[in-house]
Amino acid sequence: MPKAYWVAHVTVTDEAAYMKYAALATKAIEAHGGRFLARGGQAIQKEGRAHPRNVVSEFPSLEAANACYESDMYQEALSHARGASERDLVLIEAIE
């Protein structure tokens, strides 16, 4: 079964609320076998709309990545990100 990735592009508009999201989201991601490959850090925007924060998380499978997103734990985290950020998120299955 191929791995999967979350790729998120984020503009934070409320730092305090977003930090609550980040703390809870980290726990949810780890609970579903995920790990961060990139979190913030420098980026070079070549095309499309730039966001100052870019995050890549790796999961054991697309099913695990989606289960994390749909989980109560992550949805609680997400409640802090809504209104505190502009986000684009895609879940992508890796090439085997």
Q: Look at residue 73 and tell me whether its pLDDT is greater than 90.
A: yes
Nearest to 13 by CA among 80, 67, 83, 89: 83
For 30-47, what is the mean pLDDT?
95
What is the reported pTM?
0.92
Give, for 58, the enclosing helix (H) or strand (E).
strand 53-59
Class of domain 4-42+50-93: alpha beta
Q: What is the mean pLDDT of residues 45-55?
A: 94
Q: How confident is the model at residue 61 (pLDDT cuts 50, 70, 90)?
A: very high
Single-letter code of the amino acid located at 23: A
pLDDT of the residue at 79: 96
Q: What is the mean pLDDT of residues 52-72?
A: 97
Question: Is residue 96 scored above 90 in pLDDT?
Answer: no
Per-residue pLDDT tens digits for 15-25: 999 999 999 99
**To the nearest whole number, what is the mean pLDDT of the chain?**
96
Provide mean pLDDT across the span 75-90.
Answer: 95
Question: Domain boundaries in the chain?
Answer: 4-42+50-93
